[in-house]
Chain A
Amino acid sequence: MNDMQFLTWVRGPGLDIAVGIFLLGVFWRLFEIYSLGRKKDLSAPRSVSGASGWHTIFRRSLPPEGMLGKSPVSYIGGYTFHIGLAIVVFLFAPHILLIKNLTGLSWPGLPSQFVDLVAVVTLAAMVVVLVDRINKPVKRYLSTFGDWFTWTLTFLPVLTGWMAVQHLLLPYTTMLAIHILTVELLLVFLPFTKLFHAFTAFGSRWYNGAVNGHKGVAV
C-alpha cells in the first residue's frame, strides 16, 4: 500500500469504520449508563435561583473558590489544552469542511498560522499536564494504563496534524494519513475509555447540580 492508497483508505473505509464504532459505542454506552435511572427525591425541595442541573453544567467550568491556587497546573493546563483542542478541532478550515460534509453544519474558520500556533500551545499544555501527572503524587497514584493510553490517543492527532502541516519527519501525504488514522483511533476508543467524559461530564454535572439544587445548594 503506498501513501496515497493509505490516505484514501483512512479517508474512506477507515473513516467509515471509525465513525461506525464511535457511534455504536456512544449510543450503547449512553443507554448503558443513563438507563440505570435514579429514584425520585421525595424530600420537599428548597428552591433557590441558580441551583439546578443546568446551572451546574455551566458553573462547573470555572474553578471553585480557592481551587485555582491549589492545583494551577491542572486548571491552567487543563483549560489551555481543552480550549486549544476545541480551536484546533472546530476552527481549522479543513476540519470545518469535514464537519460540514458529515453534518451539514458550517462556520467560519481561523487563519492557519493561528491554528498552528494554538496546536503548538495545546501540545505544550498536554506535555505539561503529563509531567504533572508523573510528578504529582495524587495523580500518579490514581493513574492507570487508561490514563497514559488516553493521553497518547489525544496527543497524537494534534501532534501528527501539526507535523503534517509543518512537513516534519514524513512527507505530507503519509503524515496526513497517519493524522487521520490517529483521529480514527481516538474515535474508536473514545466511548470505551475515560475519554467518554466528553459526553458524560455534562450528565454528571447535571445530576450533581440537580441533586444539590434540590436542597437549594448551588454547586
Chain B
Amino acid sequence: MSASLEKGVRVLKEVIDAPIASYFNSCVHCGLCAEACLFYTETGDPKYTPIHKLEPLRRIYEQEYTLLGRLGKTFGLSKPVTDAELAEWQELVYNSCTLCGRCSVVCPVGNDIVYMVRKFREGMSAAGHAPEGIKGAVNRTITIGSPMGVKLPAVKAQMKHVEADYGLPIPLDAEGAEYMVMLSSMEIINFPEYLGAIAKIMHQAGKSWTLCSTAFEATNAGMQIGNSDLARVLVKRIVDGAERLRVKTVISPECGHAYTALRWEGANLIGRPFTFAVKHIIEVLGEFQKQGLLKTEGFETDRLTFHDPCQLARRGGVIQQQRDLMNQVAQNFVEMPEAGFMNWCCGGGGGASAIEEGEALRLEAFKKKKSQLDAVKPDRLVTACANCRIVLEEGLEHYQMNIPVVGLTEMIAEHIPEPSAEKGA
C-alpha cells in the first residue's frame, strides 16, 4: 500500500535516459503519430495522439534533467506534475495504448514513442495509477502463476487430454530437452489444440521438447503494467526453469507480449544475458520449414488472411516466416492492406484487453481492423497470438462479422499427417 506520486516520480527519474531526452527535444508537434494510432484514427479525439500520452513524462524530464526546466520549476514557472494528472493520464497510457509501436515507426524525427510509454508505465504503476484489470492479472500471475488463475494441476489435466486425443506424449520437466515450450493461459484454457499441435510438430521434426512444471506460463503482466520488479519475478521463473532443465531454446507461445517480455526484456530484467535462446513458435516453425522438418499435406482452400501480432512483427522482427508458413498450407492467402510491418493492432495488446473499463474504446478502435478485413473479405482470419485472437473474436462478434479466427500453429499442425498414418506409409 505504498504507491505514491513521489515514488512514481522517483522511478521515472531512474528510467529517463538519453533516448527519452533526445526524443522529447526532437518532437515538433507535427501530429503524424496520431495518424498511426488506431485509437486516434477511429475516434478522431486528439487526446489520443501518442506523444500527448507522454505529456507528464515530458514535464518530469524537463523539470528534473534540464537546466531550464529546473530553473522553471524553482521559480514556479512550470508547475510540477500532480497525482490528479497522472490519474487523468491512466486512460491514455493504458486503455488507449497497446504498445503496438506503430507511432514509433512513423515519427519523422525518429521518436520511439512506444519505448517511452513502456518507461512511463514504470512510473504510473509505482504511483498507483495502473488499471485494476492489469493489477489483477499481475496479482494472479505472481501469486497463482498465471493471469487467468491457471495452476499446474489444470495444465496436467490438459496434458492428459491432449495425450489421449493425439496419441503423443507431452513431456514434463524432461531435463536436457532441446526445446522448452511455454504456454499462455489462454492456450491452456481456450485453445488446448495448441499443445496438441506442438506435440505433432515436434514429433514430426524429431526434436526433444518439454514443458516445465515451475514455468509453464509465458505471459508477463508485470511488463504490461510496466513494472520491472514484478516483470523480473515472472521472467526469473522461466529462466530458473530453463536453466534447471538445461534446455537450448525456450519457445515463446502464440502470445505477443510474452515474446517481447522474454525475448527482448528478459535478459535486461535479470541483468545478465540468457544461457539459452528464446524463440517464438513461428520462428521455430520457420526454421523447421527451412530445414525440411515441416512436412504437410493438403491445403486450406477458403480465403484466408493473416493478422500480424504487433509484438511478433513490428516489435519482434518476425515478419516473413508467417507468410511462408501460410503459403505452405493455404491456397487462397490474401494480405490485408498495410499487413506485415505496418499492420494495425487488434486493439487489445499491451494489457489493454485486461482493462474492463476500456472495452468500449477497444471496440471503437476495432473499426480499423474491421476496415482492413472489409478490404479483403476473408473467410477466416489466421493469427499467431492468443490475445489477439480473443480480442479479434470479441470485435468480430460485436460487429457481427462471421469470420472465424484460427491460430497459425494449429492450422499447420492440422496438415501434418497423423503419426499413425505416417507409420503406415
CB distance from B318 to the nearest CB of A (A): 8
Bound form: Cα–Cα A207–B106 in Å: 14
Instruction: Answer whether A215 and B316 are a contact pair too, CB < 8 Å, given A28-B67, A36-B17, A197-B28.
Output: yes
Known: A64-B342, A142-B29, A219-B105. A38 touches B17 (CB 8 A): yes
- Is A46 an interface residue, CB under 8 A from the partner? yes
Which of chain A's residues has its CB closest to B16's CB?
A36
Interfacial chain B residues near A48, Cβ < 8 Å: 317
Within 8 A of A (CB), among B90-129: 104-112, 115
Q: Is A96 an interface residue (CB 8 A)?
A: no
From B18, B34, B111, contact of A33 by CB (8 A): B18
- Judged by a CB distance under 8 angstroms, whether B315 is at the interface is yes
Please tell me if the beta carbons of B18 and A35 are within 8 angstroms of each other in the complex: yes
Query: In the bound complex, do residue B106 and residue A208 qualify as a contact, i.e. CB atoms below 8 Å apart?
Result: no
Residue of B nearest to A66 (CB): B338
Distance A137 CA – B45 CA, assembled complex (angstroms): 8
Residues of A within 8 A of B314 (CB): 217
Known: A43-B266, A200-B22. A206 touches B110 (CB 8 A): yes
Q: Which of B272-280, B356-364, B400-408 contacts A (4 or more CB under 8 A)?
A: B272-280
CB distance from A126 to the nearest CB of B (A): 13
CB contacts (< 8 Å) of A101 on chain B: these are: none
Contacts A38-B18, A42-B267, A71-B35; A204 near B23 (Cβ below 8 A) = yes
Output the nearest chain A residue to B268 by Cβ-Cβ distance.
A42
Q: How far is the CA of A214 from the CA of B316 in the complex (A)?
A: 10
Interface: A139 (CB within 8 A): yes
Q: Which of B21, B32, B46, B265 contacts A36 (CB 8 A)?
A: B21
B108: chain A residues at CB < 8 Å are 60-61, 63, 78, 201
Number of residues from A at the complex interface, CB < 8 A = 61
B105 lies within 8 A of A64 (CB): yes
Contact yes or no, A216 B317, CB < 8 A? yes
- Encoded as 1 (CB less than 8 Å from any A CB) or 0, chain B from 55 to 92 comes to 00000000001111000000000000000000000000
In-complex Cβ contact of B271 among A37, A42, A137, A209 (8 A)? A42
B268 adjacent to A34 (CB under 8 Å): no
List residues of chain B with CB within 8 A of the CB of A71.
31-32, 35
**CA of A81 to CA of B169 in the docked complex: distance in angstroms?**
66
Are A203 and B22 in contact (CB-based, < 8 A)? yes
Contact with A along B256-290 (1 / 0, CB 8 A): 00000001111110011110011000000000000
Measured CB to CB, the closest approach of chain B to A23, in angstroms, equals 16
With A42-B267, A71-B32, A78-B30 already in contact, the answer to whether A32 and B110 are too (CB < 8 A) is no
With both beta carbons as reference points, the residue of chain B lying nearest to A36 in the complex is identified as: B18
A-B contact pairs, 19 of them (CB 8 A): A29-B25, A32-B67, A34-B21, A34-B22, A36-B17, A38-B18, A38-B19, A42-B272, A43-B266, A43-B267, A48-B317, A56-B110, A70-B32, A138-B40, A142-B46, A192-B68, A200-B22, A200-B26, A212-B105
Chain A residues within 8 Å of B, Cβ to Cβ:
28-29, 32-39, 41-44, 46, 48, 51, 56-57, 60-61, 63-67, 70-71, 74, 78, 136-144, 147, 192, 194, 196-197, 200-209, 211-212, 214-217, 219
Residues of B participating in the A interface, judged by any CB pair closer than 8 Å: 16-23, 25-32, 34-36, 40, 44, 46-47, 49, 51-52, 65-68, 104-112, 115, 263-268, 271-274, 277-278, 314-317, 337-338, 341-342
User: Would you list the 5 A-B pairs with minimal beta carbon distance, nearest first?
Assistant: A205-B110, A216-B317, A141-B46, A138-B31, A42-B267
